[in-house]
Structure 1
């Protein structure tokens, strides 16, 4: 009879590095998963209330972030990091679970984002400077 009632361990990050001038967050987990997450998708899908709102109806579509870069990674306890971006967004707390999910579903999230931008007539590129 199995008396082990513990939950399976969630993947735990073993390495976290900002690469390519801040445009990529490379993450390795203890289950062997490795993800290279674009700063753009981390920024536009930020788990912050500023982006996600407090309901589905309040969620914001963030455009013009193709070239955004990560400037800072701050540990939050042992469960997450706060990412600071060069557009001054720094309120999202990215749990390890959130990051793992983003890595596993990156292609779908990227496609959803690009489709939403297209439907709204918006671009990944920042507006031209005047």
Structure 2
């Protein structure tokens, strides 16, 4: 992994698979819950091919990450214990999860509530 500010210098999966901690070249550090990474996966399965096709994924409160696989030098593929493994998380997407994670999670919980679904 590159050592400049826009690229991670370390990715660390917690022993229980419930969080991914990313250290960045500029000194920033983010710990992102597996649940958020799963329900906001950049995969077409979750995001669709346009904003109106996005799927709200319920029931992932206890999901864990089983594996982190590098994709070239620009991304990782996360393998979740529910079998989901099609999202490719670029460094910029992971940075966005780290910086806007609270907002993203609040939007997700609100969308679940609107649909009568639970985490």
- Smaller-chain TM-score range? over 0.9
The CA RMSD measured in Å over matched residues stands at 1.0
Determine whether 1:45 maps to 2:40: yes
Aligned to 1:60: 55
Aligned to 2:98: 103
Which has more radius of gyration?
Answer: 1
Tell me, which stretches of 5 or more residues in structure 2 are unaligned? Answer: none
Deviations 1:63-88 (A, max 9, x none): 00000000011100000000000000
Moved over 2 A (4+): none
Give the number of aligned pairs: 116
Tell me, which stretches of 5 or more residues in structure 1 are unaligned? Answer: 1-8, 125-130
2:57 and 2:5 map into 1 onto residues whose CA distance is 30
2:88 and 2:7 map into 1 onto residues whose CA distance is 16
SS of the equivalent of 1:89 reads coil
TM-score where L is the length of structure 1: 0.87
- Out of 20, 32, 45, the position equivalent to 1:25 is 20
Aligned to 2:64: 69
2:34 and 2:23 map into 1 onto residues whose CA distance is 16
